[in-house]
Structure 1
Amino acid sequence: MVGVFASLKWRLVRTRLATGNRAATVAGLLVLFVLAIGVAGLLVWSRSAEGVPLPLVATVFTLQLVAWVLTPLVAFGVDETVDPSRFALLPLRLPTLQRGLLATALIGYLPVANAVLLLGAVLAIAQPWWVLPIAVVCGVVQLLTCVVLSRAAATSMSSLMSSRRGRDLGMLVGFLIFALYMGLTLLLNTGNENAIGTGTQRLADVLTWGPPGNLAVLPALIGEGDWGRAALALVIGVAPLPLAWWWWRRALRKSLTTIGSTTASSAPAGSSTDSAVGGSTAGTMRVVAGRDRLLLWRDPMRRMPWLLLILLTFLYPFIVARGPEGVFWVAFGAILVGTQAGNQYGMDGSGLWLHLMTITDRARARGEVLGHVIVAIIPGVVVIAASLVLQGIVRDAWHLLLPAAGVSLAAMLGGCAASSSLSARIPYAVPQSRKSVFASSVAGQKGVSARATFAVLGLSILLAVPSGVAAFLAVQVADWWGWVSVLLALVVGGVSLVWAVRATADRFLVRGPEILAVVAAGDRA
């Protein structure tokens, strides 16, 4: 039976590779394995540095375990084999089901990439070389602990993640992880290198006493003949595996024998003064904008990009530049604001048929596109303005705010225009289960979503070039070029946006059924 589970997972992996964009998938896999091989090579190379490999591998083991445990919370629903409810009606004993699910967890691209990384770690901690078999066993135990603990966490949270409260929790954890990463990056970019190096070394030494850290130092302890410390390391390092297996079994039994409540399909509270789509462009725009504004806060999948966008807009300029010119990096956040107007038809899934029934003329179709764009522009302007003011205060770069505002405005309007236009030209389905706030497209359409994203970024930069040239002249020639930069942003961005709204509306009226057929795939994910 375990072989059946393994063959099903292998077939699933092969099907995803065959049905999706092969070029994009292969490129992504190559990047993944190059990174894994690079980290593994770094670990092997650290073997020659005295006192470095053991704390380094202990840190890598700890980060690996934390990543496996937190992934089900922040990305639940990406792998459908995680949900145990899919096996509730099968005549399988619990131990058989558990072993089968473990086999499926070890098959895939990420487990193989983790195995490559662990191979480098094993070679790094095998000191002296005669303890290499022990290091291999430690690597296997580390991989099994990561997988089993991840499955236990995913199974325990399967009912929670089907509710809006669970998705909000996942969004919060994901946002905090990203915020922590940005904070550490900013600290490393601006802090004292000696103090950072000392703190990192102390943290690594502390991590060697955790379960993953004890697995990392166990071969060296045995090689040195420190049997007392080695016995303690063995207990601490191996104990999480049986405990995680027991937790997983209890979570599986509970998940397969109980029915959890969910609020996933409950309608959002609140009322609206509009009872029907208006017959004019302005009326439709008002209705669509009001709906998007409500869902922006209630839907974690819509809310998460905005939280990350705000964090990046405020912190990223401090990471990439230290001088006054860093104020221009706010334009990067402006481009991200523009992407929030993208894939306007994919977010509704099969519910798009309601739009096809009510949006039957150009006025309403243009009002719908404008409604989506307005909800991106209004909060985007506030975020960009606040970030520019913060940059001006911290960097004392008030003389650069006007040209920076022109570039940022051009990037935002250009991004909104590009996103709107590509919504009808390159639509793709979004998982309607809403179990993962990071699953932006369904399996088989990852290449399409990536192509749309890169197209938006490229067009945003292209449309911001005129304002960028004027901003450069404002810095190098005369300050009044800053006003030219803002004027060019309004003209080029405004004209592009008007054209995009008209083109998108017309294309939707012509290709509406085809777009519906594409985005309806999100209902099955």
Structure 2
Amino acid sequence: MTASGPPPFPGAAPAPLAPAAPVPARGGSITPVFVRLKLAVIRNGLRQSRGRTAGWAVGVAFAMLYALGLGAGMIALRGSHYAPAATVTLAVVLGLGWAVMPLFFFGGDDTLDPTRLSMLPLRPRPLMTALLTSSLVGVGPLFTLLVSTGAMIAVAHGAAATAVAVPVVALLLLTCVALSRAVAAANTRLLTSRRGRDLALLSGLFVAVGAQLVNLGVSSLSSDGGLHRVTSIASVLRWIPPAPAVDAVRSTGRGAYGLAAVQLLYALAALAVILRWWYRSLVRLMVSPDASTLQAADVPTGGAARSGWPGRVAGLFPARLVGGRTGTVMERQFHYLWRDPRSRAALATGLAVGLLLPLVAVVQHGTVYQCLWAAGLLGMQMYNQFGTDGSAFWTVAATISTRRDAALELRGRALTLVGIAVPYVTVVTVGAALLLGRLDALAETLGLSFAFLGALTGTGTYASVRFPYAVPQQNAFGNAAPGQGGLVALNVFGGTLSGAVFCLPVLALSVLLHHTGHQGLSWTVLPVGVVYGTAVGAAALRFTAPRLLDRLPEILAVVGKG
């Protein structure tokens, strides 16, 4: 270290210090940096494994083929009376899809989390520009561009409409991308918390419900007057952003320039509101404290406050009505179903889809026998009972020393599922029978449902002991540890098939009554199904209990890999 001169005297003014390094000039754009960062994220993600690269390539190929097909379908509607209704509906669907996308892909796309940039000296407005530009890089924006281009061709008639259609495509794309970013920024605290991970686990439920809603929509369109109903609905949808921008092209083609101007201004105002919402969310994320920095005293404490009604039900119902080890196991399982995100998501999916499929039958005037789905989806929850325990299964294994202990452990787990499934299946079946006007088939359907539920409970008990597999605890979207996908398929398909086979005697009784003209005796299927399902489940528990005692080390070794 060298000195430039003698130290200053007391009271003397300090000598000016020369900067150690040149200060970079301000005003440089960070947008190219973010675009390169987005490309690097995509490239590095594909480098993780060849399987991931192949899956990404196949997914992109299917997405592009679907986009081209959808765009071609929109172009084929050019000149049709239903083209305007189809384009505004498509615009609303695209906006909705971009809005809910962060709920599914937030954890898998690091660029959606703006808090990762909170330590950098970035201002919100340049950050918004950079993020918005980088968001235009990817498969989603290309998909939206292709589909929206086809929609514009379908409704653009004349030079003026064509001139308006070009900026409308850009406006539609910007609105969708900005909406996705705004939703992600507004829900960052939630999506990075435990509740956000729980929400991510429910994505399968959203997909299943959405698929059934699409099925209902397609069926409605296929029926008489379906397209006329879409036209009437489109009169409302055309005022839901970003649809006004799309409808402005049609208005321009008709010569309604005043209406087109109003619709474009409305779409621009909606985009401005979205950008303002995004800006305020970014500012709040940059300056507000994280939940982890809050004082512990501000967080409500006490087990009673956190447990709520599930804890009270788990504490009162099993232990007091059943008693013994079985009641204790049921209490533990009820707590797991409420507190464990994966178990709760699986149960919620079974309950929702089990209700949705009979609802589809009611809407489409189907059959009451579709209520068997409710019993089947809940009965499948019995499979791989120990996989969700993970390495903590040793605490259960340490308490099992006799065949009776093993039998009570399995009985408690089975009764937990049956205690949820039986009243649920009953309510769903009774409701569907009332709505369909098939009270004559109510007893028969309930008997088949209970027999199927008992068969799946029995086969699921045996499969949990004989074919367990680990469930990854870190990966919220994985349902099995690497290398155990075959066991998952064996449990799902083999279990469903074996459950159906065990249910054949009750099904044969139902078919026999119908073919011999004794439909009046179909009510006998209910008591037979109840007794048969109970007998199959009890026999499976008795048969599996000694095998659980013998296989405790093997089960612990397998499920502990998660």
TM normalised by structure 1 equals 0.75
State the Cα deviation string for residues 322-357 of structure 1 (Å, max 9, x = none).
899823221111011112334434445565565466
Q: What corresponds to 1:335 in structure 2?
A: 376
Deviation of 1:251 after TM superposition, in Å, equals 1.6
Q: What corresponds to 1:470 in structure 2?
A: 509
- Give 4+ residue runs of structure 1 displaced > 6 Å after superposition: 25-31, 164-196, 262-267, 271-274, 321-325, 442-450
Say whether 1:255 aligns with 2:285. Answer: yes
Deviation of 1:408 after TM superposition, in Å, equals 1.2
Q: What corresponds to 1:523 in structure 2?
A: none
Q: Which of residues 101, 108, 114 is equivalent to 1:84?
A: 114
State the Cα deviation string for residues 126-154 of structure 1 (Å, max 9, x = none).
33488557535433332332222122112
Count of residues in correspondence between the two structures: 506
State the Cα deviation string for residues 149-206 of structure 1 (Å, max 9, x = none).
1221122112134557778999999989988997897799799967765543222022
1: distance between equivalents of 2:422 and 2:314? Answer: 26
Say whether 1:290 aligns with 2:321. Answer: no
Deviation of 1:287 after TM superposition, in Å, equals 2.6
Q: Contact (CA 8 Å) 1:418, 1:500: kept in 2 or not?
A: no
State the Cα deviation string for residues 401-441 of structure 1 (Å, max 9, x = none).
3432332123223333454555563635366698xxxx574
Say whether 1:382 aligns with 2:423. Answer: yes
Q: Which of residues 236, 245, 249 is equivalent to 1:219?
A: 249
* 1:392-431 map, 5 Å: 392-421=433-462, 423=464, 425=467, 427-429=469-471
Q: Contact (CA 8 Å) 1:414, 1:497: kept in 2 or not?
A: no
Rate the CA distance shift 1:81–1:364 in 2: closer, same or farther, 3 A.
Answer: farther
Rate the CA distance shift 1:92–1:322 in 2: closer, same or farther, 3 A.
Answer: closer
Say whether 1:11 aligns with 2:44. Answer: yes
Rate the CA distance shift 1:189–1:218 in 2: closer, same or farther, 3 A.
Answer: closer
Q: What corresponds to 1:40 in structure 2?
A: 71
Q: Contact (CA 8 Å) 1:138, 1:216: kept in 2 or not?
A: yes
Rate the CA distance shift 1:155–1:192 in 2: closer, same or farther, 3 A.
Answer: closer
Say whether 1:319 aligns with 2:360. Answer: yes
Rate the CA distance shift 1:190–1:32 in 2: closer, same or farther, 3 A.
Answer: closer
State the Cα deviation string for residues 225-271 of structure 1 (Å, max 9, x = none).
54333322222223333443343233223223332337799964358
2: distance between equivalents of 1:465 and 1:123? Answer: 56
Aligned-pair identity in percent equals 24
Say whether 1:61 aligns with 2:105. Answer: no
Q: Which of residues 149, 174, 177 is equivalent to 2:179?
A: 149
Deviation of 1:501 after TM superposition, in Å, equals 6.2
Given residue 337 of structure 2, which amino acid in structure 1 is its aligned partner?
L
Secondary structure in 2 matching 1:202: helix
Secondary structure in 2 matching 1:239: helix
Q: Contact (CA 8 Å) 1:128, 1:220: kept in 2 or not?
A: no
Secondary structure in 2 matching 1:211: coil
2: distance between equivalents of 1:98 and 1:444? Answer: 39
Say whether 1:509 aligns with 2:553. Answer: yes
2: distance between equivalents of 1:111 and 1:456? Answer: 41
1: distance between equivalents of 2:487 and 2:59? Answer: 14
TM normalised by structure 2 equals 0.71
Given residue 228 of structure 1, which amino acid in structure 2 is its aligned partner?
G
Q: Contact (CA 8 Å) 1:16, 1:443: kept in 2 or not?
A: no
1: distance between equivalents of 2:538 and 2:383? Answer: 17
2: distance between equivalents of 1:350 and 1:116? Answer: 48
Rate the CA distance shift 1:110–1:420 in 2: closer, same or farther, 3 A.
Answer: farther
1: distance between equivalents of 2:480 and 2:110? Answer: 12
Note the residue ranges of structure 2 that are not aligned, 5 or more in a row: 1-32, 293-298
2: distance between equivalents of 1:135 and 1:448? Answer: 51
State the Cα deviation string for residues 283-339 of structure 1 (Å, max 9, x = none).
554333202223434566544554554454455335337899823221111011112
Q: Contact (CA 8 Å) 1:360, 1:509: kept in 2 or not?
A: no
1: distance between equivalents of 2:226 and 2:353? Answer: 23
2: distance between equivalents of 1:362 and 1:99? Answer: 66
Given residue 74 of structure 2, which amino acid in structure 1 is its aligned partner?
L
Say whether 1:139 aligns with 2:169. Answer: yes
1: distance between equivalents of 2:402 and 2:106? Answer: 40
The more displaced of 344-353 and 468-477 is 344-353
Secondary structure in 2 matching 1:317: helix
Secondary structure in 1 matching 2:242: helix
Rate the CA distance shift 1:226–1:191 in 2: closer, same or farther, 3 A.
Answer: closer
Rate the CA distance shift 1:321–1:342 in 2: closer, same or farther, 3 A.
Answer: same
Given residue 211 of structure 1, which amino acid in structure 2 is its aligned partner?
P
Given residue 47 of structure 1, which amino acid in structure 2 is its aligned partner?
R
1: distance between equivalents of 2:505 and 2:60? Answer: 37
State the Cα deviation string for residues 478-503 of structure 1 (Å, max 9, x = none).
45675455555444455456556665
1: distance between equivalents of 2:394 and 2:515? Answer: 53
Q: What corresponds to 1:208 in structure 2?
A: 238
Q: Which gives a bigger RCO, structure 1 or 2 (Cα 8 Å, sep 6+)?
A: 1
Given residue 380 of structure 1, which amino acid in structure 2 is its aligned partner?
A
Note the residue ranges of structure 1 that are not aligned, 5 or more in a row: 519-525
